[in-house]
């Protein structure tokens, strides 16, 4: 099966699973959903053999001194984490101000909200660490404008599911491939609010190579260019699941952007923050993704730093 067809098949399967899980997940206590998610992840460790082997191989690239026993422990925990995330996403419509206080520790967001209230645009850079949808949803519950750029998925139903979920918290989704995406992003910044990007994957977009665990990795450059062009505040933000089941959101120190700044240097600086977060909780990153793969030169539309 060709890669695009295989990806579309997986997304169809995931969407159908989400429909079933959503019918259950939002009606049960969060802790129960997390427990069920852990069991789902344990099953996935045995069933998803191809993804398990890819994750183990990529973890070995990032942590070459890690023992095989420890790598297996990390990837087993990753599958449990992803299983919990699925049930947590289903539960998210229950997240309001009261439940947010009980389930989520938030650090550094007050600085960002103060800038937004003063009319400033903020570009948030994050990664597939922890439950990144929880990060988006929880931020949206504070009532400020939040927009998220996403890669349009091959499965329209999955796009609609995620878009409608985020909208429940007032989070607007901008599809990267849409004709109006550039205008929508500029509007989101100029009106004052958060425009969030996930930049830790090698995707078919304008990219540059920056270090990631000691190896050059193609990384989207557009978000940094947008922050530099608009003079927005650049803020790395991450979420991590704690041992007690709560989530810890950290908005790091804001970075002032100016028109003469180097967007490649900014991208490298943000990527370094992503790497630091992965070191904090390696089991909460998606190791199945081939972060260091190459793309044909014609597929990289911008300058590729060698």
Residue 25's pLDDT is 83
Per-10-residue mean pLDDT of the chain, 306 residues long, equals 60 73 87 96 96 97 97 98 95 94 97 95 97 97 94 72 92 84 90 94 91 96 95 97 97 95 97 98 97 69 42
pTM exceeding 0.85: yes
Kindly state the tokens that stand for 203.
């995707």
The CA dihedral of 263, 294, 275, 109, to the nearest 10 degrees, is 50
Residue 30's pLDDT is 96
Tell me whether strands 233-241 and 121-126 are parallel, antiparallel or unpaired: parallel
Residue 153's pLDDT is 63
> Are 78 and 108 a contacting pair, CB within 8 Å?
no
Rounded CA-CA distance 115/136 in Å is 18
**What residue spans define the domains of the chain?**
3-293
Question: Strand pairing partners for 194?
Answer: 122, 146
Residue 306's pLDDT is 37
Angle between helix axes 132-140 and 68-91 (nearest 10 degrees) is 30
Residue 296's pLDDT is 61
Angle between helix axes 30-47 and 3-25 (nearest 10 degrees) is 150
């Amino acid at each position: 099966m060709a890669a695009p067809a295989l990806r579309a098949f997986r997304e169809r399967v995931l969407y159908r699973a989400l429909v079933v899980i959503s019918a259950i997940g939002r009606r049960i206590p969060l802790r129960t959903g997390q427990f069920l998610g852990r069991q789902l992840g344990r099953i996935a460790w045995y069933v998803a053999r191809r993804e398990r082997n890819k994750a183990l191989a990529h973890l070995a690239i990032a942590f070459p001194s890690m023992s095989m026993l420890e790598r297996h422990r990390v990837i087993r925990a990753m599958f449990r984490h992803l299983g919990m995330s699925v049930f947590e996403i289903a539960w998210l419509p229950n997240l309001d101000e009261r439940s947010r206080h009980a389930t989520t520790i938030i650090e550094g967001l007050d600085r960002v909200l103060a800038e937004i209230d003063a009319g400033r645009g903020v570009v948030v850079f994050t990664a597939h660490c922890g439950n990144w949808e929880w990060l988006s949803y929880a931020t949206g519950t504070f009532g400020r404008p939040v927009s998220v750029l996403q890669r349009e998925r091959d499965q329209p139903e999955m796009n609609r599911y995620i878009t409608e979920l985020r909208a429940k918290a007032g989070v607007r989704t901008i599809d990267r491939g849409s004709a109006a995406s550039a205008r929508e992003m500029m509007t989101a910044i100029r009106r004052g609010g958060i425009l969030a990007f996930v930049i830790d994957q090698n995707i078919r977009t304008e990219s540059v190579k920056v270090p990631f665990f000691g190896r050059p990795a193609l990384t989207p450059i557009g978000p940094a260019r947008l922050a530099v062009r608009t003079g927005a505040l650049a803020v790395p933000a991450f979420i991590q699941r704690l041992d007690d089941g709560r989530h810890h959101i950290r908005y790091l120190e804001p970075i002032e952007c100016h028109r003469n700044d180097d967007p490649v240097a900014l991208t490298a600086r943000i990527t370094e923050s992503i790497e630091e977060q992965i070191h904090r909780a390696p089991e909460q990153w998606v190791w199945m993704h081939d972060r260091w793969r190459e793309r044909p030169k014609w597929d990289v539309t911008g300058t590729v730093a060698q």
